[in-house]
Amino acid sequence: MKAAVFHGPGDVRIEEVPEPTAGAGEVKIRVLACSMCGTDLKIFRSGHFRISPPRVMGHEIAGEIVEIGAGVTGWAAGDRVQVIAAIPDGTCEECARGHQTVCLNQESMGYQYEGGFAEFMVVPPSVLAVDGMNRIPDGVGADEASVTEPLACVLNGQELAGVGPGDVVAVFGAGPIGCLHVRLARSRGAARIIMIEVNRERLQLAADLVHPDDTVCAEDGDIIEQVRKLTDGRGADVVITATAAGAAQEQALQIAAPRARISFFGGLPKDKPTITLDSNLVHYRELTIVGANGSSPAHNARALELIATGEVPVKDLISVRLPLDRVLDGLQIVAKGEAIKVTIEP
């Protein structure tokens, strides 16, 4: 079968590799759609300490079961399924406390296990053990289901930040994650949503799709002053930094209203992970800063339901669909920001 195999930084090859079979406790699926994200681009460029090449990439996975391994029950050939990316062990102290997103022994599809940029793949027992494979509801396309995983991460972030009815929500970043944050915040009852971006073309592309109430572009002047003007000087109740930019995290504190919650959703580059934080703003405004790290199996199940019910539409966010042999083209499109969401359809 064909697969996109990571051999090292800057070295991803479309290769013929042996087609897998389902062993005991495993399920084999035909990949119908596997979407791309910024993490795929980071792996392509710099690798990852948890990936030992060669490894098939891709972790936003939807497919159709073609083979059931011994001991697996409740599933049948022909079932369409969505697969989690981050796999908690379900047994460590953090998992026992209900904190599966920070599992001490977390594994991931496309890292320790072969990923979804392939014609076929095997879902390992560790995924099934934590209810990490979800049946795709009728009426939901495999392309839409492949966006479940990033939406699940967004759901985790907004739950941690307490996004709810009446909130003014400011979102830094107009990429696919920023777009999902806008749509999810709307579904959770946010009263007003402000999308903030440094690139005007990217901001316009996103705003035309997800329709935030206001947009703020760095090209139009100081971001902090623009947000303050839009909010009559008060600021936002929730600020989400859906971008890997330290400047956005610093600005987030400046535009936060009293008692606001700030989500450092996007991680920073490992060679520049620190920011200058005005501690007095946190102190005197009684601000809360929270992180957000991936999603749990339960987040995936709820995210797929949000897609199925139409509460968070995602199909129109997929602006580029490519065959498997154009994975490298997809990575370049992601790098240039020329699309909201790129999906590979093997």
Q: What is the pTM of this model?
A: 0.95
Question: Which stretches of the chain are assigned E, i.e. beta strand?
Answer: 2-8, 11-16, 27-35, 55-56, 60-68, 80-83, 86-87, 107-108, 120-123, 133-135, 168-172, 192-197, 214-217, 236-241, 256-264, 288-291, 318-322, 341-344
Average pLDDT of the residues of the chain: 96
CB 148 within 8 A of CB 320: no
Amino acid identity of 204?
Q
Instruction: Please write the tens of the pLDDT for every residue from 110-136.
Output: 999 999 999 999 999 999 999 999 999
Distance CA(179)–CA(93), nearest Å, equals 34
Distance CA(3)–CA(65), nearest Å, equals 18
Region of poorest pLDDT, from 105-109, 177-181, 320-324, 333-337:
333-337
Give me 154's structure tokens: 């967004």
Instruction: Please write the tens of the pLDDT for every residue from 270-327.
Output: 889 999 999 999 999 999 999 999 999 999 999 999 999 999 999 999 999 999 999 9
Torsion of CA 160, 205, 85, 67, to 10 degrees: 140
Amino acid identity of 256?
A
Helix-helix angle 246-254:223-230, to 10 degrees: 40
* Sheet bearing 2-8, strands edge to edge: 11-16, 2-8, 55-56
Distance CA(194)–CA(76), nearest Å, equals 45
CA-to-CA dists, residue 320 to 97, 115, 181, angstroms = 40, 20, 20
pLDDT for the residue 285: 97
CB atoms within 10 A of CB 114: 22
Amino acid identity of 167?
D
